[in-house]
Structure 1
Amino acid sequence: MSPEAGGEPATSPIRQILFKMHSRCNLACDHCYVYRHADQSWRDRPQVISRATIDLAAARIAEHAGKHDLPFLTVILHGGEPLLAGPDLIDYLVRAVRGAVTTDTKVAFGLQTNGLLLNREYLDLCARHRIRIGVSLDGPPAANDRHRVYADGRGSHAGTARALRTLNEAWNRPVYGGILCTVDVANDPAEVYRHLLSFDPPEIDFLLPHGTWDRPPPARGPDRGSTPYADWLKVIFDLWYEAEVPQTRVRLFESVVSLLLGGPSGSEAIGLGRIDLVTVETDGTLEQGDVLKTVAQGAPATGLHVRWHSFDQYLEHPGVRARQSGLAGLSAECRRCPLVEVCGGGLYAHRFGLGREFDNPSVYCADLAAFIGHAAQRLAADLSRRV
């Protein structure tokens, strides 16, 4: 790859491969970016990824790892609901990837699930292959079951909570990855946080509900200066920050603190780090991140397929290059902002709209500024006391 000015490579290699194991789900969550937003391409895709597609993708992973001498890769099993694919296919994928990667590259596996199908067979499989399991839960029953429901309207909390309690048993802890929680400001933040902590997760990640300027998130009204999401997150940040012994990692909070101190981000949602992810859909097409499904029909598409195209060719796609362009890829307003090194313009899809496509600040701009400012004040006060 040709270097840019300053010696930086034009693109960074792929280090995260997200496999769509199954294109359907056993829930009908009303905030799901796969089924409830602009892109509906899931309707035309095979329900389950084939072994032939897995083999092709495994070969591409090995090719990329070898060409770029990668020390590590992460493979994420996703959906829909990935457990619908069945344990045999998950076992086949892990073996195929590990068998194909003959370099010194370390391959880690993760799986994101609602937990409803998690049983002893899956737990044993994940233990055998060292697959870390992340579970989606939005809080206590009333909070979670406002959005995460079955097609007939029944809530999913009881089944997901049962899965989390099972993961927290001593023999399952090695595969317990953590909890993903979508923010709903109608819920009490302290109550949500305490409930998530009751499952003793190794990590929690808070996800802002997806939206764009054309289709704003639920609590973003006409007042662009309001900060309902920041106000919600601040409550939990203070509880987390003030704990004498940190009870669990919170990825968003750790990323903000790290960035404020000049370190890296651990989250795609914040900071100027390059996005190093490719999605392999059930039909073998290579797509950008799922969150772009909130933008428009076909927004994540690249026109590439794992049979005919390498990951290096994927990196040359204009959309992928835009997501790896850092500061240069942000709007003029973002580039002028003193918080840009920390905020990074927020999640890429959240900038879309207003007739300017992605050349906007995040629809969460005011929230991000308020939250980062709050974290900075807490950190500065602590540091001044220690000087």
Structure 2
Amino acid sequence: MTPVPFRQFVLKVHSRCNLACDYCYVYEMADQSWRDQPLRMSEATADRTVQRIAEHVEAHRLPSVAVILHGGEPLLAGTAFLAGLVRRMRDTVPGRVDVSMQTNGVLLTEAGLEALVGLGVRIGVSLDGDAGATDRHRSFADGRSSHPHVERALRLLAREEFKDAFDGLLCTVDVEQPPLRTYRALLAYAPPAIDFLLPHGTWSHPPPRRGIGSKGTPYADWLLAVFEQWYDRPETWVRLFGELVQSALGGTPAVEGLGLRPSTVAVVDTDGAIKQLDSLSAAYPGAADLGLNVVDDAFDVALTHPLTRLRQGGLESLSATCRSCAVVRTCGGGLFTHRYDSATGFANPSVYCADLLRLVTAVQARVSADLARPGR
């Protein structure tokens, strides 16, 4: 297999967070190595990371790459540091660099937005619905609600001078919350896009109401309730649903966790370590580690690592169960992390297998029925 160059670089610019989300894969799951990480990426590490990205872009003649400022909470690194990092990327990388930031929004200020938006940075905000839904999981360490702070940030992003920089909302699905109420709460902020994220988990440490012996399809049922309303009246782009509809029409899903396209994501931690998907922290300690660092290693070295080859292996890298499944070209086996079992590694269907099968087939059936209607 010929490795596919990385096109998305997740930079973990700060290793701590100002919230205490109880489902967080970084702080609450198997890998606790964040405790030994530098609080913030140093200027020297940031410079070396930029050089390595530029090197990779030039070596593979990439016209563009995406850089995601991440954490922890990236705004803890300070606006001056983030702006300086973005400027260095713009000056150094020989191609277009699309920069975004995923934040909980608590520290977002008008001055910070002016600096980042002026550099073309797009802002994604994490929010799980209304105040009640958000406070179930996304509170401060002392139990205080984060919702008023996030709401203030979203009002800032709604202002005319900032709204074009709003990248959308990221919502972790909570099947205990009413799906349509959650969806309407998100729509109230007029996001240009919504990403629904399944809670991270594995067969060894399953997410709520999943795992060996679990019955039903609670996550598919929750998502399909929203899908039906969205499909009849798409008030914004919901990436998961859009990708599933495009696949039902013969297209190829283009997001991590769906389809068979090779993964092109690389992660750089605050100490400069080059890693695999950061969600692998949910699997076992060191699951994302490659033993590489931007100081000594090019991203091309990470491309040859066996775990990278596995993540880029398409159909052949999946379990026998997945390879024989009718929806594998849409599902793609689900997110790599969600396949892990301590006894068998990643050679398994997703812990969300039943939900994914129901979700994909239901969307395909709805699209097929719509196309068969007279006048279509």
Instruction: Please indicate the TM-score interval, normalised by the length of the shorter structure.
Output: over 0.9
Q: Contact 2:338 / 2:351 at 8 angstroms: preserved in 1? A: yes
Out of 296, 303, 306, the residue aligned to residue 315 of structure 1 is: 303
Cα displacement string for residues 173-204 of structure 1 (whole angstroms, at most 9, x for unaligned residues): 11100000000000000000000000000000
Q: Following TM superposition, where does structure 1 have runs of at least 4 consecutive aligned residues deviating by more than 3 angstroms?
A: 221-225
Distance in 1 of aligned mates of 2:38 and 2:214: 41
2:138 corresponds in structure 1 to 148
Offset, 1:221: 5.8
| RMSD (CA atoms) | 1.0
Question: Does 257-266 or 111-120 show the bigger shift?
Answer: 257-266
Gaps of 5+ in 2: none
Q: Give the counterpart letter for 2:327 in structure 1.
A: L
Change (3 A) 1:322 1:222: closer
Alignment of 1:213 onto 2:203: yes
Q: CA deviation at 1:165?
A: 1.6
Aligned residue-pair number: 375
1:113-128 mapped onto 2 (5 Å cutoff): 113-128=103-118
Q: Secondary structure of 1:145's match?
A: helix
Matched, 1:349 2:337: yes
Deviation at 1:223, TM superposition (A): 3.7
Alignment of 1:5-24 (within 5 A): 10-24=2-16
8 A contact 1:148–1:155 mirrored in 2: yes
**Gap change, CA 1:11 and 1:222, over 3 Å in 2:** closer
Q: Which residue of 2 aligns with 1:328?
A: 316
Partner in structure 1 of residue 72 of structure 2: 80
Is the contact between residue 146 and residue 155 of structure 1 (CA under 8 Å) also seen in structure 2?
no
Match of 1:276 among 235, 260, 264: 264
The CA deviation string for residues 108-135 of structure 1, in whole angstroms up to 9 with x for no partner, is: 0000000000001211012211100000
Aligned pairs (5 A) from 1:145-224: 145-220=135-210, 223-224=213-214
Distance 2:187 2:237 in 1: 10
Residue 222 (structure 1) shift:
5.0
Question: In the alignment, what sits opposite 1:106?
Answer: 96
- Give yes or no for the alignment of 1:289 onto 2:277: yes
Structure 1 unaligned segments of length 5 or more: list them.
Answer: 5-9
CA distance in 2, matches of 1:318, 1:222: 28
1:45 aligns with 2:33: no
Q: Are the equivalent residues in 2 in contact too, given 1:286–1:314 (CA < 8 A)? A: yes
Q: Identity across aligned pairs (percent)?
A: 50
Cα contact 2:192–2:237 (8 A) shared by 1: yes
Letter of the 1:319 counterpart: L
Which secondary structure does the structure 2 equivalent of 1:129 belong to? Answer: coil
- Please give the alpha-carbon distance, in whole angstroms, between the structure 2 residues aligned to 1:316 and 1:137: 36
Letter in 2 for 1:47: L
Matches within 5 A, 1:352-367: 352-353=340-341, 355-367=343-355
Amino acid at match of 1:205: D
- Report the residue type matching 2:344 in the other structure: R
Q: In 2, distance between residues paired with 1:30 and 1:52?
A: 33
Q: Give the TM-score normalised by structure 2.
A: 0.98
**Range with bigger deviation, 149-158 or 186-195:** 149-158
CA distance in 1, matches of 2:4, 2:291: 20
Query: Structure 1 pair 58/321, CA: closer, same or farther in 2 (3 Å)?
Result: same
What is the CA–CA distance in structure 2 between the aligned matches of 1:90 and 1:354, rounded to whole Å? Answer: 38
Q: Is the contact between residue 116 and residue 163 of structure 1 (CA under 8 Å) also seen in structure 2?
A: yes
Maintained 8 Å contact 2:79/2:116: no
Tell me the CA shift for residue 224 of structure 1: 4.0
